[in-house]
Amino acid sequence: MDKILEISSPGGDLQLQFTLTEEGEPVYWARYKDTAILDTSALGFELVDAPSLRAGFEMTDYSTRALNDVWEMPWGEQREVSNNYNELTVEVREIPPPNRRMRLIFRIYDDGFGFRYEFPEQEGLETLEIAEERTEFQLTGNHTAWWIPGDWDIYEHLYNETSVSGIDALSKRDHPNLAQTAIPVNAVNTPVTMRTANGLHLSFHEAALTDYSGMTLLVDNDTYKLTSNLVGSERTPYKVKRKLPFHTPWRTVQVSPDAAGLIESNLIVNLNEPNQLGDVEWFKPTKYVGIWWEMHLGKSSWDMASGKHGATTENAKRYIDFAAENNIGAVLVEGWNTGWEHWIGFEDREGVFDFVTPYEDYDLEEVVRYANEKGVEMIMHHETSAAPRTYEQQLDTAYALMQRLGIHSVKTGYVGKIIPAGEYHHGQWMVNHYRKVLETAAEYEVAVNAHEPIKATGIRRTFPNAISREGLRGQEFNAWSVEGGNPPDHLPTVAFTRMLAGPIDFTPGIFNMKLAPYKEESQINTTLAHQLALYVVIYSPVQMAADLPEHYEDHPAFEFIREVGVDWEQSKVLNGEVGDYVTIARQERGTDRWFLGSITDEQERSLEASLDFLPAGANYKATIYRDGEGAHWDENPSAFLIESFLVDRSTTLKLDLAPGGGTAVTLEPATAEDEERLQTYR
């Protein structure tokens, strides 16, 4: 065994060691305080038509460095982000010819660590064709895991809670309600979150995914070893092809003594490069409404031929009026452009969509003029039907139209199997397509909210026009009868899994919980107060008020949606357990207002939330939207109460959450009238 190199986190609790075995194989292991979190884990690659890069190395050099700085998010969960790490770089070279060289970079923070491979320019090696990356994470026990299968095409599976030995991704094949799915092996998608027997929380993911294939993690149920398994292509013998020099994405492990710390971690964004776009003042975080939910309910349709087209000029103006009257900044219109009659269920989907030509009953220019008159922004919609070559042919034309109209946000979609056949949503070919869309959009001052996307890996730091994405089982599943929609524990799980990757366009705020009269066989499996709390719990700089306007009109609970912020100065996770409950408080950027959201699974809970984050010496008015008497996600989901009290930083709120329930709180500096009129919270 070669010399053992060690690096610790700035605070000293997290340690990582690296060495070469007697066979010259790179290995590492890690500890948190006195607990081993990863045992000896190997690093390397299998190549196409070339010897593997797994052993036979010698260490030629190593170096360390440290950084401690602060950078500012143009929008996000907080304004300032501390970027404090220690770094170890190890250079290795094959002993036998052709003496290929590789660097391994380990970057360790107090909240976890990341590492990546670098291939410097070298004689005789111009291109690598990677058949498989063999990065290992050797777990030290049969941890509890929250996982979705390593599907190469979609992330819209429900999370499963099992032991590592109980992970069975292959049992999730042939899902009856997914537009596309491909699960080749017993692997999981990332982020995958785990809890050890002694309560330590771990989450495995990747950061800065660029010109590379998405990583799933192959699971050995007997040894508890996770091994990288890259998404492939049926059109090439390799999974990744790169010219030298290049580096891989970061492989990441977030570490926290409790679940709350995972959400507060900034590891993923910190491992990305700084902002390359400069000032993106043309994008403003916002709430929006739109022509969307009514199609999922069957009230209207995307296509014009059905006779119940939703995206008409008249209907769009109705939503614009509603937005203008209710402090909603933007309106999304789906189904505005020609092609929807042939978009799904067809093999010949290339050339179907036109991204500049509206249906004859939708006057795009007039709708935009009307929105501008009302002070409302429009959000463009580009569904590609998973035909990215068609989209790329029209990117400049489509974004030039948006620029001319002053539209700065687009929701993209990729429903269906990718054309050309043999490519998958999460492979290198599509990763590069998604990046091309993002970079082209930036040239036209357009921000992208991607659906059916590649997973978030913190690219929003480098390209802050990557504002949000789907990449999970969303709200629309509640309008579909198969499997009965999302269970009450779905979002208390998502907060500690998918949300660790980045912002989520979940589309919360449904008030008509039983979906009558449109979908009486389906329902929303939460209470109304739970839906309100999601505006704080599930982060996105674009938050939809997803229900039909008529379900909000004259509803007192809608006041919370009118008031809740979307851009934050700071965020604090007050409590939480994966899959059970979570409470988050966020301070609105540029104001003294705070908002608090708390949600639970199917279990009724009483939680406490200290308000010690409020400024000293200030009284606040707390407006509490909570579950009412007898509230229950199934039996009585609409029961709610609104109460107001005086509070300060010494106050501890008691949050009584119904089964599937929640609490949402607005906290704003108290006026003299508030102090005279309101009771102090006891």
In the predicted model, is pLDDT for residue 100 greater than 90? yes
Exactly one of 476, 569, 588, 602 is catalytic; which is it?
476
Reported as a single tens digit per residue, the pLDDT across 378-408 is 999 999 999 999 999 999 999 999 999 999 9
Q: Taking the CB of residue 95, how many other CB atoms lie within 10 A of it?
A: 11
Mean pLDDT of the region 586-598: 98
Reported as a single tens digit per residue, the pLDDT across 454-464 is 999 999 999 99
Tell me if residue 476 is catalytic. Answer: yes
Reported as a single tens digit per residue, the pLDDT across 226-238 is 999 999 999 999 9
Reported as a single tens digit per residue, the pLDDT across 481-505 is 666 789 999 999 999 999 999 999 9
CA distance 412 to 379: 11
pLDDT at 34: 87
CA distance 473 to 469: 12
Mean pLDDT of the region 623-650: 98
Percentage of the chain modeled with pLDDT above 90: 95
Return the structure tokens found at 514: 């039983």
pLDDT band at 1 (very low <50, low <70, confident <90, very high): low
Look at 131-145, 192-206, 470-484, 546-560 and tell me which has the smallest mean pLDDT.
Answer: 470-484
Average pLDDT, the chain: 97
CA distance 327 to 268: 32
Reported as a single tens digit per residue, the pLDDT across 657-669 is 999 999 999 999 9
In the predicted model, is pLDDT for residue 2 greater than 80? no
Return the structure tokens found at 167: 């992970």
Mean pLDDT of the region 639-651: 98
Contacts of 281 by beta carbon, 8 Å cutoff, 6+ apart: none
Task: Please report the DSSP string for 340-387 in residue order.
Answer: GGGSSS-S--TT---SS-B-TT--HHHHHHHHHHHT-EEEEEEE-TT-
In the predicted model, is pLDDT for residue 95 greater than 90? yes
pLDDT at 422: 97
Reported as a single tens digit per residue, the pLDDT across 292-307 is 999 999 999 999 999 9
pLDDT at 570: 98
What is the SS3 string spanning 469-507?
Answer: ECCCCCHHHHHCCHHHCCCCCHHHHHCCCHHHCCCECCC
Reported as a single tens digit per residue, the pLDDT across 519-530 is 988 999 999 999
Mean pLDDT of the region 85-107: 96
Reported as a single tens digit per residue, the pLDDT across 161-179 is 999 999 999 999 988 888 8
In the predicted model, is pLDDT for residue 146 greater than 90? yes
pLDDT at 175: 84
> Which helix (H) or strand (E) covers residue 68, if one does?
strand 57-72
